[in-house]
Amino acid sequence: MADTEEKTERETIARNRRARHDYQILDTWEAGIVLTGSEVKSLREGKANISDAYGIVKDGEVHLLNLHISPYEKASHFNHEPTRTRKLLLHKREIRKMIGAVERQGLTLVPLELYFKKGLVKVALGLGRGKKLYDKRADEKKRDDDREMQRAVRIR
């Protein structure tokens, strides 16, 4: 019963649809994100874009760059900068694993989804390897073939 309650409390704000198309996702993490009040209010209105965002590891901390959160209209001069660098909250062992993968293997940290979980803003972060053009074509062909098989089964 606790599992179903947890799933219903997850409210998606923004999803990076191109991430799984452009990257082969090897591992995922859920991270908290350090925000200001006007950013949270803007996120409650659903004004975020994570398609250009990516993560970096700097000084033993993980930061998210190019996450665009639109300014909150009612915040006046206390508003935030839309694309500022935001710190992610992770355990040290998770950060160490990311450092090894990003620096040694040349992988990329890609945000997959931004959502509310129990009133807190979380980001699903994926460790991805960039796909080549032929990999993208192969995935698309496989998806089309699966669709055709489903149609054939439905018709019979």
Q: How far apart are CA 156 and CA 151, in angstroms?
A: 9
Residue 1 predicted with pLDDT over 50: no
Structure tokens at 59: 């000084």
What's the whole-number average pLDDT of the chain? 88
Q: What tens digit of pLDDT does each residue of 74-102 get?
A: 877 888 888 899 999 999 999 998 888 88
Contacts of 129 (CB under 8 A, 6+ apart): 23, 24, 26, 105, 107, 108
| Closest listed residue to residue 49, CA positions, set 30, 67, 23, 71 | 67
Query: Stretch 119-138: mean pLDDT, rounded?
Result: 90
Could you tell me the domains of the chain? Answer: 2-131 (2.40.280.10)
Helix, strand, coil % in the chain, rounded to nearest 5: 40, 35, 25
Residue 7 predicted with pLDDT over 60: no
Q: How far apart are CA 59 and CA 65, in angstroms?
A: 15
